[in-house]
Amino acid sequence: MSSSSVNIDCDVLVIGAGVFGAWSAYRLRQSGLRVLLIDAHGPGNNRSSSGDESRIIRTGYGPDEIYTGSAVRSLRAWQEIFAASREPLFQRTGVLWLAREGDPYPSQTIATLQRLGVACEALTADELPRRYPQFAFDGIAWGFVEPQSGVLFARRAVQLVVREAVRAGVVYVPDAVPVPFDQPDGEIVTVGGRRLRATHFVFACGPWLPKLFPQLLAERIQPTRQEVFYFGAPAGDDRFKPPKMPTWIDFQDETYGLPDLDGRGIKMAIDRHGSPFDPDRDDRVASGEGLREVRERLARRLPALSHAPLVESRVCQYENTSNGDFLIDRHPDFENVWLVGGGSGHGFKHGPVVGEYLAERITNPHAEVEARFSLRTKASEHRRKVY
């Protein structure tokens, strides 16, 4: 499309081709609506919260059935779209949870999984090292495994969803940057002079949401800097690849790790909100302090990798709501404008269900609204409750 003035009419304009926007466009098109999808840098780009190579998909969320149920349904949807397109972008590694004495969250998680019929297996402190001898389990009282969970190849998965959406009839316009939205007349101006008209607007812009709606969202969604590191495993040593090594989570230690996939190395990061981050202006160079902290955790949990070389590092961002619940709600001043975001570091896996939820409410205004996704539940004071 040329940069000259162009008029496009559609039922729904989706702004943002990250995981929430891509799945929203796809689900809306499946509902029979004419959909236009735009993005500034492209699906899976390295500034987006949906970038990087991999994301964990696990179903455990403590006692929180809403996210466990969503993750189960989303995993099924991811697998279906991968099978239909013949692109295997899910790796079933299993997800190992490490539990410490007296921590209720793992016990609540396994109870929820069992109640909902999700496959899981508890492991005692004696069984853990026999099953996974490459790990050191200092401080760990027990654990459990989600055998059906694993890893999504994130960047390629988002690009695939956009391709499948286009195949289904969605019109995708790249290099389109919306201005802050303050027009109730159904028109939005994008860079390049394009004028795009729609009946409904969906802003799924991740860390850019506070910039587009500064008065409404600047205090409600906080983008933070997050550092991720990849370490090289020894050649010929298969202990750090699936199926011998699972994805693993130690929430009490704020640490997670992924096995060596596609030869990229063992991925490891601290699941703690970092410093405020501007997705447009801030550099994406990992810090020495962050590397030292992750390397210390790596040596403690995987001793054979204590001197493993750093082969890659990335800086991305979370866009956090006050408590970690998603934001999927109408703009308070415009009935036809939807705000979709607040993935809060755990949202990627839920893309299919987020898109489904949004499409149902746009096509059926009487559909029940989940209060936890509403704007009114998002405060300016950040106290994370969802992990």
Every domain of the chain and the residues it spans: 7-50+155-220+323-377, 80-150+222-319
Considering the entire predicted model, what is its pTM? 0.94
Long-range Cβ contacts of 371-375 (<8 Å, 24+ apart): 372/66, 372/325, 372/326, 373/325, 373/326, 373/327, 373/328, 373/329, 374/329, 375/216, 375/220, 375/327, 375/329, 375/330, 375/332, 375/339
Query: What's the rounded mean pLDDT across residues 346-375?
Result: 95
Q: What is the pLDDT of residues 278-294, one digit of tens each?
A: 999 999 999 999 999 99
Return the pLDDT at 384.
Answer: 76
- 7-50+155-220+323-377 topology per CATH: FAD/NAD(P)-binding domain (3.50.50)
Return the pLDDT at 193.
Answer: 66
Please check whether residue 176 is in contact with residue 193, taking contact to mean a CB–CB distance below 8 angstroms.
Answer: no
Assess whether the region 7-50+155-220+323-377 and the region 80-150+222-319 belong to the same CATH fold.
Answer: no
The percent of residues above 90 in pLDDT, for the chain, comes to 84
Query: What's the rounded mean pLDDT across residues 22-35?
Result: 98
CATH for 80-150+222-319?
3.30.9.10
Return the pLDDT at 1.
Answer: 27
Return the pLDDT at 186.
Answer: 59
Query: What's the rounded mean pLDDT across residues 117-135?
Result: 98
Query: Residue 207 in 3-state DSSP?
Result: helix
Alpha-helix residue ranges (DSSP H) falling in the chain: 19-30, 65-85, 104-115, 127-131, 154-168, 209-212, 214-217, 288-301, 351-363
Nearest in space to 327 (alpha carbons), one of 371, 292, 290, 360: 371
Q: What is the pLDDT of residues 89-111, one digit of tens each?
A: 999 999 999 999 999 999 999 99
As given in the structure block, the two tokens for residue 271 are: 């699941």
Q: Distance between CA atoms of 203 and 39, rounded to whole angstroms?
A: 11
Q: What is the pLDDT of residues 206-228, one digit of tens each?
A: 999 999 999 999 999 999 999 99
Return the pLDDT at 34.
Answer: 96
Q: Distance between CA atoms of 324 and 306, rounded to whole angstroms?
A: 33
Return the pLDDT at 115.
Answer: 96
Please report the DSSP string for 253-281 in residue order: GTEEEE---TTS-EEEEE-S--SB--TTT
Q: What is the pLDDT of residues 46-94, one digit of tens each?
A: 999 998 999 999 999 999 999 999 999 999 999 999 999 999 999 999 9
Q: Which residue has the tokens 């190992």?
A: 96
Please check whether residue 137 is in contact with residue 248, taking contact to mean a CB–CB distance below 8 angstroms.
Answer: no
pLDDT tier, 195 (very low <50, low <70, confident <90, very high otherwise): confident
